[in-house]
Amino acid sequence: LCRPLESTELIFSTGISELDRLFPAGGIPYGQMIEITGGGSSGKTSLLILILAAITRDKGTAAYVDYGHSFFPAAAVAGGIDLNRLLVVTPQESLEGVRAAELLLDHHLVRSVAFDLVGITTPLPFTLIHRLRTKTTRAKALVIFLTEQHTTLLPTSSVSPRLEVERRHQTTLTVTVAKSRLCLEGITTEVSIY
């Protein structure tokens, strides 16, 4: 179902067994650019918080590029994120956010960068995303884009996997692999968010 991983690839385990089982070797290989997408109130931000919590819990550092200026520290703490290990970047325009991420990856200051693109309408420039992809691979980092469903903010060739999120119940999300170079597309799992 999934391509075998090379032994040199490092795996990020989210600690959410249902989510990790979607990927080879029980987690997401570092060096990937991931898109988490869904409609309003789908739970996509809750899933991102769970992933960032796992990164900071494992003593990793992460950056949160907050284009919409909607980062809510209390919700992050309630979701398990260690704020001492999270750098929040609030760019005024798209170039600033991508450039900040590049600098953080170039200098190995973070292992993961999350871009909150919810509410953004202007696509990110293809050349910047392509360059960021190269830096992500070289740094063996993890870059996550949070987007609204049915938006075209990212070049389709730049992200894999693309995870679509739907809220199933108050505390349960359905996560579907909508696009992936790593494993079979269309596979689904349920994730508990509390």
What are the tens digits of pLDDT across the range 118-174?
A: 988 888 889 999 999 999 999 999 999 999 998 888 888 889 899 999 999 889 999
Give the residue, 44 or 125, on which the prediction is more confident.
Answer: 44
State the Cα–Cα distance between residues 15 and 55, nearest whole angstrom.
Answer: 9
Give the residue ranges of DSSP H helices in 35-167: 44-57, 73-78, 94-106, 126-139
**8 A C-beta contact, residue 41 and residue 79:** no
Confidence of residue 8 (pLDDT cuts 50, 70, 90): very low
Q: Helix 126-139 vs helix 94-106: angle between axes, to the nearest 10 degrees?
A: 20
State the Cα–Cα distance between residues 34 and 22, nearest whole angstrom.
Answer: 13
pLDDT of residue 188: 95
State the Cα–Cα distance between residues 127 and 97, nearest whole angstrom.
Answer: 14
pLDDT of residue 15: 86
pLDDT of residue 184: 81
Check whether 96 has a pLDDT greater than 90: yes
Question: What tens digit of pLDDT does each residue of 173-189 get?
Answer: 999 999 998 888 999 99
